[in-house]
Amino acid sequence: MKKKLILGDEYDDALRHTLMAELAAMGATIEGHQWGLGGSQIIQTTKLRLGKDTLVVESETYVGLSIAGPARIVDRVASMLPAAAPKP
C-alpha cells in the first residue's frame, strides 16, 4: 500500500538534511532530482530507490516537505524523525 506523509515545513532545511541522511543510512540511492517554478510556488522532487522500492521526497511551497512510497517504509522513516510533527 502506498502512503504520502507531510513531515514538516518545506523551508525546514534541518529536517530535509536529517531525512536524506536517514534514507542514505538505510541504503537509499538517489535516482533523479527535479524542480519547477509555477507562479509563487516552487516544487522540488527527489526520486530514491531503496532495494526494489521507489520513494519520492517532495518539497512544495505552501504544502510542505513530504515522503511518499510503500507505507511500511514511509512509517519507518517518519519514526526516525522525532523532531518532525507529521501532518495527515
Write the CATH number for 39.
Answer: 3.10.450
> Is 37 a member of any domain?
yes
The reported pTM is: 0.88
Residues in the chain: 88
| DSSP sequence for 17-41 | HHHHHHHHHTT-EEEEEEEEEETTE
Tens digits of residue pLDDT in 3-34: 999 999 999 999 999 999 999 999 999 999 99
Q: Is residue 88 part of a domain?
A: no
Q: In what order do the strands lie in the sheet with 2-8?
A: 2-8, 64-70, 53-60, 41-50, 29-38
- Number of compact structural domains in the chain: 1
